[in-house]
Amino acid sequence: MDNVEYKIYIDDVIRRVEKARLKVSEYHIVKIVAVSKYSTAQDIEKLYQIGQRAFGENKVQDLKTKAVELEELPLEWHFIGNLQKNKINNLLDINPTLFHALDSLELAHELQKKLETRDMTLDALLQINSAKEESKHGFMPEIAKEAYEEIKKECPNINLKGVMSIGAHTEDKDIIKKSFETTYEIYKQLDGATICSMGMSGDFELAIECGSNMVRLGSIMFNK
Ligand SMILES: *Cc1c(COP(=O)(O)O)cnc(C)c1O
Protein backbone atom coordinates (compact mmCIF):
# COMPACT_ATOMS: atom_id res chain seq x y z
CA MET A 1 0.00 0.00 0.00
CA ASP A 2 1.20 3.52 -0.62
CA ASN A 3 0.81 6.20 2.05
CA VAL A 4 -2.54 7.44 0.80
CA GLU A 5 -4.04 3.96 0.76
CA TYR A 6 -2.52 3.25 4.15
CA LYS A 7 -4.05 6.40 5.59
CA ILE A 8 -7.49 5.41 4.31
CA TYR A 9 -6.99 2.01 5.85
CA ILE A 10 -5.91 3.39 9.25
CA ASP A 11 -8.72 5.94 9.22
CA ASP A 12 -11.10 3.00 9.13
CA VAL A 13 -9.51 1.51 12.27
CA ILE A 14 -9.76 4.90 13.96
CA ARG A 15 -13.41 5.18 12.94
CA ARG A 16 -14.14 1.83 14.56
CA VAL A 17 -12.42 2.97 17.78
CA GLU A 18 -14.44 6.21 17.65
CA LYS A 19 -17.72 4.40 17.23
CA ALA A 20 -17.00 2.10 20.16
CA ARG A 21 -15.86 4.86 22.51
CA LEU A 22 -18.87 7.05 21.73
CA LYS A 23 -21.10 4.20 22.89
CA VAL A 24 -19.51 4.73 26.32
CA SER A 25 -19.45 8.53 26.36
CA GLU A 26 -18.22 11.44 24.31
CA TYR A 27 -15.73 12.07 27.10
CA HIS A 28 -14.34 8.55 26.98
CA ILE A 29 -10.95 8.92 25.27
CA VAL A 30 -9.16 5.83 23.96
CA LYS A 31 -5.49 5.64 23.09
CA ILE A 32 -4.21 3.32 20.39
CA VAL A 33 -0.87 1.60 20.95
CA ALA A 34 0.29 0.14 17.63
CA VAL A 35 1.85 -3.23 18.38
CA SER A 36 4.75 -3.56 15.98
CA LYS A 37 6.04 -7.00 17.00
CA TYR A 38 5.40 -8.54 13.56
CA SER A 39 6.50 -5.41 11.73
CA THR A 40 9.71 -3.75 10.64
CA ALA A 41 11.16 -0.35 11.46
CA GLN A 42 10.06 0.72 7.96
CA ASP A 43 6.46 -0.25 8.72
CA ILE A 44 6.62 1.75 11.95
CA GLU A 45 7.94 4.78 10.11
CA LYS A 46 5.06 4.58 7.67
CA LEU A 47 2.55 4.65 10.50
CA TYR A 48 4.47 7.47 12.16
CA GLN A 49 4.16 9.52 8.97
CA ILE A 50 0.39 9.34 9.15
CA GLY A 51 0.29 10.38 12.80
CA GLN A 52 0.78 7.34 15.03
CA ARG A 53 3.15 7.96 17.96
CA ALA A 54 2.72 5.10 20.46
CA PHE A 55 4.19 1.70 19.59
CA GLY A 56 4.39 -1.53 21.55
CA GLU A 57 6.70 -4.55 21.53
CA ASN A 58 6.61 -7.78 23.51
CA LYS A 59 10.28 -8.73 23.39
CA VAL A 60 12.93 -6.59 25.05
CA GLN A 61 15.49 -7.24 22.33
CA ASP A 62 13.07 -6.26 19.53
CA LEU A 63 12.06 -3.15 21.42
CA LYS A 64 15.68 -2.18 21.81
CA THR A 65 16.58 -2.81 18.17
CA LYS A 66 13.64 -0.82 16.82
CA ALA A 67 13.92 1.99 19.35
CA VAL A 68 17.58 2.44 18.46
CA GLU A 69 16.91 2.24 14.74
CA LEU A 70 14.18 4.87 15.01
CA GLU A 71 15.69 7.04 17.72
CA GLU A 72 15.45 10.15 15.55
CA LEU A 73 11.65 9.97 15.67
CA PRO A 74 9.69 11.24 18.70
CA LEU A 75 8.06 7.86 19.38
CA GLU A 76 6.52 6.56 22.58
CA TRP A 77 7.56 2.97 23.35
CA HIS A 78 5.38 0.58 25.31
CA PHE A 79 6.58 -2.78 26.55
CA ILE A 80 3.63 -5.18 26.56
CA GLY A 81 5.27 -8.57 27.00
CA ASN A 82 6.30 -10.80 29.84
CA LEU A 83 9.50 -9.45 31.42
CA GLN A 84 12.15 -11.91 32.55
CA LYS A 85 14.26 -10.78 35.45
CA ASN A 86 17.49 -11.05 33.48
CA LYS A 87 16.09 -8.57 30.91
CA ILE A 88 15.18 -5.81 33.34
CA ASN A 89 18.35 -3.81 32.76
CA ASN A 90 17.93 -4.00 28.99
CA LEU A 91 14.39 -2.71 29.30
CA LEU A 92 15.36 0.14 31.61
CA ASP A 93 18.11 1.19 29.20
CA ILE A 94 15.34 2.16 26.76
CA ASN A 95 13.36 4.00 29.43
CA PRO A 96 9.97 2.94 28.02
CA THR A 97 6.89 5.12 28.32
CA LEU A 98 4.84 2.36 29.92
CA PHE A 99 5.38 -1.23 31.01
CA HIS A 100 2.02 -3.03 30.63
CA ALA A 101 2.78 -6.41 32.13
CA LEU A 102 3.83 -6.24 35.77
CA ASP A 103 2.69 -9.75 36.70
CA SER A 104 4.25 -10.75 40.04
CA LEU A 105 5.37 -9.29 43.35
CA GLU A 106 8.75 -10.85 42.83
CA LEU A 107 9.20 -8.97 39.55
CA ALA A 108 8.01 -5.74 41.20
CA HIS A 109 10.64 -6.03 43.92
CA GLU A 110 13.36 -6.87 41.42
CA LEU A 111 12.35 -3.88 39.31
CA GLN A 112 12.31 -1.65 42.37
CA LYS A 113 15.90 -2.62 43.21
CA LYS A 114 17.14 -1.88 39.71
CA LEU A 115 15.20 1.38 39.48
CA GLU A 116 16.56 2.53 42.81
CA THR A 117 20.13 1.84 41.72
CA ARG A 118 19.59 3.88 38.59
CA ASP A 119 17.66 6.56 40.43
CA MET A 120 14.82 6.36 37.92
CA THR A 121 11.11 5.58 37.93
CA LEU A 122 8.95 3.46 35.65
CA ASP A 123 5.27 3.82 34.80
CA ALA A 124 3.62 0.41 34.85
CA LEU A 125 0.33 -1.46 34.73
CA LEU A 126 -0.61 -4.48 36.79
CA GLN A 127 -1.41 -7.40 34.51
CA ILE A 128 -4.54 -9.28 35.49
CA ASN A 129 -5.29 -12.82 34.39
CA SER A 130 -8.99 -12.09 34.36
CA ALA A 131 -10.06 -15.26 32.56
CA LYS A 132 -7.84 -17.33 34.88
CA GLU A 133 -6.07 -19.06 32.02
CA GLU A 134 -3.06 -21.22 32.76
CA SER A 135 -1.35 -20.07 29.58
CA LYS A 136 -1.47 -16.44 30.69
CA HIS A 137 0.56 -14.34 33.05
CA GLY A 138 -0.86 -11.94 35.58
CA PHE A 139 -2.47 -11.69 38.98
CA MET A 140 -5.67 -13.57 39.71
CA PRO A 141 -8.60 -11.16 40.02
CA GLU A 142 -9.16 -11.99 43.70
CA ILE A 143 -5.74 -10.77 44.76
CA ALA A 144 -5.13 -8.01 42.20
CA LYS A 145 -6.27 -5.09 44.33
CA GLU A 146 -4.22 -6.21 47.30
CA ALA A 147 -1.14 -6.72 45.11
CA TYR A 148 -1.60 -3.28 43.56
CA GLU A 149 -1.66 -1.64 46.96
CA GLU A 150 1.29 -3.66 48.18
CA ILE A 151 3.42 -2.66 45.19
CA LYS A 152 2.39 0.98 45.61
CA LYS A 153 3.54 0.86 49.20
CA GLU A 154 6.74 -1.16 48.83
CA CYS A 155 8.02 -0.07 45.40
CA PRO A 156 8.14 3.72 45.34
CA ASN A 157 10.07 3.83 42.04
CA ILE A 158 7.26 2.02 40.20
CA ASN A 159 4.41 4.36 39.27
CA LEU A 160 1.41 2.10 39.00
CA LYS A 161 -1.04 3.70 36.57
CA GLY A 162 -3.70 1.02 36.22
CA VAL A 163 -4.24 -2.42 34.77
CA MET A 164 -3.71 -4.50 31.67
CA SER A 165 -5.45 -7.64 30.56
CA ILE A 166 -5.73 -9.92 27.54
CA GLY A 167 -9.28 -10.98 26.67
CA ALA A 168 -10.29 -14.60 27.26
CA HIS A 169 -8.98 -16.95 24.60
CA THR A 170 -12.24 -18.21 23.14
CA GLU A 171 -14.71 -17.55 20.34
CA ASP A 172 -17.47 -17.04 22.89
CA LYS A 173 -18.16 -13.31 23.04
CA ASP A 174 -19.92 -13.53 26.39
CA ILE A 175 -16.88 -15.09 28.02
CA ILE A 176 -14.55 -12.50 26.48
CA LYS A 177 -16.88 -9.75 27.66
CA LYS A 178 -16.92 -11.19 31.15
CA SER A 179 -13.12 -11.17 31.26
CA PHE A 180 -13.06 -7.49 30.29
CA GLU A 181 -15.73 -6.65 32.85
CA THR A 182 -13.73 -8.41 35.55
CA THR A 183 -10.68 -6.30 34.72
CA TYR A 184 -12.68 -3.09 34.57
CA GLU A 185 -14.29 -3.77 37.97
CA ILE A 186 -10.84 -4.09 39.53
CA TYR A 187 -9.61 -0.98 37.71
CA LYS A 188 -12.46 1.09 39.13
CA GLN A 189 -11.55 0.10 42.67
CA LEU A 190 -7.92 1.21 42.39
CA ASP A 191 -6.96 4.49 43.91
CA GLY A 192 -5.64 6.93 41.33
CA ALA A 193 -5.60 4.45 38.44
CA THR A 194 -6.07 6.12 35.03
CA ILE A 195 -5.19 3.45 32.46
CA CYS A 196 -7.21 0.36 31.62
CA SER A 197 -5.30 -1.38 28.82
CA MET A 198 -7.39 -4.05 27.15
CA GLY A 199 -8.45 -4.97 23.63
CA MET A 200 -6.49 -6.33 20.67
CA SER A 201 -7.25 -6.55 16.93
CA GLY A 202 -9.97 -9.17 17.35
CA ASP A 203 -11.81 -7.73 20.34
CA PHE A 204 -11.00 -4.03 20.77
CA GLU A 205 -14.52 -2.73 20.22
CA LEU A 206 -15.90 -4.99 22.90
CA ALA A 207 -13.04 -4.03 25.24
CA ILE A 208 -13.74 -0.32 24.74
CA GLU A 209 -17.43 -0.83 25.40
CA CYS A 210 -16.41 -2.52 28.66
CA GLY A 211 -14.36 0.53 29.70
CA SER A 212 -10.93 0.12 28.14
CA ASN A 213 -9.13 3.39 27.45
CA MET A 214 -6.00 1.92 25.85
CA VAL A 215 -6.08 -0.66 23.07
CA ARG A 216 -3.08 -2.62 21.82
CA LEU A 217 -3.57 -3.18 18.12
CA GLY A 218 -1.09 -5.26 16.13
CA SER A 219 -2.25 -7.09 13.03
CA ILE A 220 -5.04 -4.66 12.22
CA MET A 221 -2.78 -1.58 12.36
CA PHE A 222 -0.10 -3.09 10.18
CA ASN A 223 -2.44 -4.89 7.79
CA LYS A 224 -0.87 -8.27 8.57
C1 LIG B 1 0.60 -9.21 20.12
C2 LIG B 1 -0.07 -8.55 21.23
C3 LIG B 1 -1.11 -7.63 20.99
C4 LIG B 1 -1.63 -7.30 19.60
O5 LIG B 1 -2.23 -8.41 19.02
P6 LIG B 1 -3.10 -8.29 17.68
O7 LIG B 1 -4.09 -9.39 17.80
O8 LIG B 1 -2.16 -8.48 16.54
O9 LIG B 1 -3.75 -6.97 17.68
C10 LIG B 1 -1.67 -7.01 22.09
N11 LIG B 1 -1.27 -7.27 23.35
C12 LIG B 1 -0.29 -8.16 23.63
C13 LIG B 1 0.09 -8.39 25.04
C14 LIG B 1 0.33 -8.82 22.58
O15 LIG B 1 1.31 -9.71 22.86
C-alpha 17/C-alpha 212 separation (Å) is 11
C-alpha 204/C-alpha 196 separation (Å) is 12
Please give the distance, rounded to the nearest whole angstrom, from the Cα atom of residue 38 to the centre of ligand 1. Answer: 10
Determine the structural domain holding residue 212 and report its residue range.
3-81+88-222
Question: What is the pLDDT, as a whole number, of residue 209?
Answer: 98
Whichever domain contains 169, its CATH number is: 3.20.20.10
| CA-based torsion, 214, 215, 221, 224: positive or negative | positive
Pocket of ligand 1 (CB under 6 A): 35, 37, 58, 80-81, 166, 200-202, 216-220
**77: pLDDT confidence band, cut at 50, 70 and 90?**
very high
Using one digit for the tens of pLDDT, what is the confidence trace for 101-153?
A: 999 999 999 999 999 999 999 999 999 999 999 999 999 999 999 999 999 99
Domain tally, the chain: 1
Question: What is the pLDDT, as a whole number, of residue 172?
Answer: 96
From atom 7 of ligand 1, which residue's Cα is the shortest distance away?
Answer: 201
Please give the distance, rounded to the nearest whole angstrom, from the Cα atom of residue 154 to the centre of ligand 1. Answer: 30
What does the pLDDT average to over 3-13? 88
From atom 12 of ligand 1, which residue's Cα is the shortest distance away?
Answer: 80
What does the pLDDT average to over 177-202? 97
5, pLDDT greater than 90: no
Question: What is the pLDDT, as a whole number, of residue 8?
Answer: 87
